[in-house]
A and B are shown apart, each in its own frame.
Chain A
Amino acid sequence: MNAGKTSGGRYMKRKVVNVAMLVLSGASAAFGLFWLFWILGILVRRGAPALNWAFFTQLPTPPGMAGGGLANAIVGTLMLTVLATAMGVPVGLMAGTYLAEFGRQTTLGRVVRFVADVMTSAPSIVIGVFVYAILVQPMRGFSGFAGAVALAVIMIPVVVRTTEEMLKLVPNALRESALALGAPYWKVVFRICYRRVFGGLTTGILLAIARVSGETAPLLFTSLNNPYWNFDFTKPMGTLNVTLFNYAMSPYDDWRSKAWGAALLITLGVLCTTVIARLVVSRTQIGRS
């Protein structure tokens, strides 16, 4: 009788603890999403009013003067991202191909995989310092090119790892059947393996682009900033991110409101790219496997 009661009590206690812990875990998930929605909500509320036609078409005004836009910075960001992608993606694709096709068991493969993993999370500001030291100092000036190099360095490890992961998904039977038909190995990889995981590779590249288009730290002392139109990669180049940093820190209300507009624009760009990347990969994975 008595024993039954205590075991019933213990059972209740176990159940209560269980429910309490599960509620706590649900609460932490809600906690994470709470910040996301708070930040996004604020961005839309403060940023949307700043996004007008002039924002996309005009140059910045001098400090304190209302009006104007950030057209040059928008174009600058796009130019830097395109150049960085053109430099970083081929390197990442090739190195990732090595890891998947030749380096699965080799020492070089293991070391490169390890280094790429570490570099993915390495502080981007240090990459900025590095590029400053190798490009800005010797060339005696800040330049858009230096900024693009910094972004490319950040992209490379991301592309390396996703390329490898994707190529590893290609079944060996496919490689072997192509080789058995007499195709040289490079053709097997480029024409068959790449095509098989095209969606996955695209995702990797898009994620790398999303990653760098939100980066500000490595641009602060490489591409610097420029309030005018500039299509010359050897000169300082305005970007949305650095402009946002300068404007947000300024005492002018008009600049701050533009900073919110820039913040909304950057976040929309990054989040949309991320979502598209996810959609591409989930569609191809489901379609093929």
Chain B
Amino acid sequence: MAEASPGTTENQRPSRKAPAPWGDILFKGSTTAFAVLVLALIGTICVVLYSKGHLAISTYGFKFLWNTAWDPVREDFGALPSIFGTVVSSLLAILIATPISIGIAVFLTEMAPPWLQKPVGLGVEMLAAVPSIIYGMWGLFIFAPIMARTVQPWLKSTLGFLPLFQGIPMGIGMLTAAIILAIMIIPFIASVARDVFSLVPAMAKESAYGLGATTWEVIRGVVIPHTRSGLVGAVFLGLGRALGETMAVTFVIGNAHRISASLLNPSNTIASTLANEFSEATSPLYISSLIELGLILFLITTTILALAKFMLWRIEAQVKGMPR
């Protein structure tokens, strides 16, 4: 940008030379180095988890992924119950959280009067700021007993013929964990959904209103089709969060290494297994198996989050190419 003039000025006034560029070289070099450091960090995490989990990986091979045993005494470890619990609890949470989050986003962007937008938005953000362990403690002492006394017996008496709702209503278990996970990821999905909703050009919405569409018809016919990939991204982001959520789940899922069709039974997730057993694991193979579990969790969540990011980028690029 400043290339055009310096030749002449330097010739005229040689005493006013630009200062040596060392400061800028150092500046660019050091900021670049820190950027590379961030990159190196994620690489190091993968490499370290792989190398420390290598003992388990070489001992069990791919069998680790579908072995259902978890026996520290006989040193027979398998990841399937934990993977099953992680995936099922997260999918269930997404199922509950998605419609509610989109409802909140619709409320905040299309419906709420301006004086209500800010406090409600802040409240939803606060929901995201409450630490995971608080959800867990509240879930264990307050929410689980309510589930055990009212919700679960009711589910059993009305839908008990399904294998999903059999067993003893203990309060803790898969269903309770999934509901708490859902509450925790609602703010994340809702805030991304709100952002993508606000990307919809006002012109498109106003055209629909001009044709006589109701607010809901504008949302269903213009806003949601327009932002579909962004919404999928938001849901994937929520899914990535739910998969790795640790403390809340550890409190309420019941920590049982088994696969059960019933949502009322205690179960386990990768994160809760790590939280419960890591500091007590003694033998190298036990620790290595736990680290391999951590590696599996890391790979699953980063894949899901990368997909989410990709979807959100697509919608941003899409919107940028459009007249506003």
| B222 contacts chain A at the CB level, 8 A cutoff | no
C-alpha gap A111/B251 in the complex (Å): 36
Q: Return A123 CB to nearest CB of chain B, in Å.
A: 2
User: Judging by beta carbons under 8 Å apart, are A28 and B126 in contact?
Assistant: no
Q: Is the interface of A mostly helix, strand, loop or mixed?
A: helix
C-alpha gap A28/B34 in the complex (Å): 42
| B58 contacts chain A at the CB level, 8 A cutoff | no
User: Judging by beta carbons under 8 Å apart, are B216 and A21 in contact?
Assistant: yes
Number of interface residues of A (CB under 8 A): 90
Q: Return A187 CB to nearest CB of chain B, in Å.
A: 7
| B81 contacts chain A at the CB level, 8 A cutoff | no
| A151 contacts chain B at the CB level, 8 A cutoff | no
Closest to A267 in B: B134
Q: Given A25-B103, A27-B103, A176-B1 in contact, is the A95-B38 Cβ separation under 8 Å?
A: yes
Closest to A245 in B: B133
| B14 contacts chain A at the CB level, 8 A cutoff | no
Instruction: Give the residues from 97 to 115 in chain A that come closer than 8 angstroms, CB to CB, to chain B.
Output: 97-99, 101-103, 108-109, 111-112, 114-115
User: Judging by beta carbons under 8 Å apart, are A32 and B216 in contact?
Assistant: no
Instruction: Give the residues from 26 to 53 in chain A that come closer than 8 angstroms, CB to CB, to chain B.
Output: 26-29, 31-33, 35-36, 39, 42-43
| B317 contacts chain A at the CB level, 8 A cutoff | no
User: Judging by beta carbons under 8 Å apart, are B301 and A122 in contact?
Assistant: yes
| B residues near A98, Cβ cutoff 8 Å | 31-32, 34-35
Closest to B238 in A: A121
Q: Is the interface of B mostly helix, strand, loop or mixed?
A: helix
User: Judging by beta carbons under 8 Å apart, are A112 and B107 in contact?
Assistant: no
| B residues near A75, Cβ cutoff 8 Å | none
User: Judging by beta carbons under 8 Å apart, are B131 and A216 in contact?
Assistant: yes
| A217 contacts chain B at the CB level, 8 A cutoff | yes
C-alpha gap A210/B129 in the complex (Å): 8
Q: Given A26-B111, A29-B104, A221-B279 in contact, is the A122-B244 Cβ separation under 8 Å?
A: yes
- Subset of 26 A-B contacts with CB under 8 Å: A14-B217, A18-B215, A22-B216, A25-B110, A25-B111, A28-B102, A32-B123, A32-B127, A95-B31, A95-B38, A98-B35, A103-B35, A115-B39, A121-B305, A123-B298, A125-B275, A126-B45, A130-B294, A157-B38, A185-B27, A210-B129, A216-B133, A241-B131, A267-B134, A270-B130, A278-B122
Task: Identify the 5 closest CB pairs spanning chains A and B, nearest first.
Answer: A123-B244, A214-B131, A28-B103, A186-B27, A94-B34
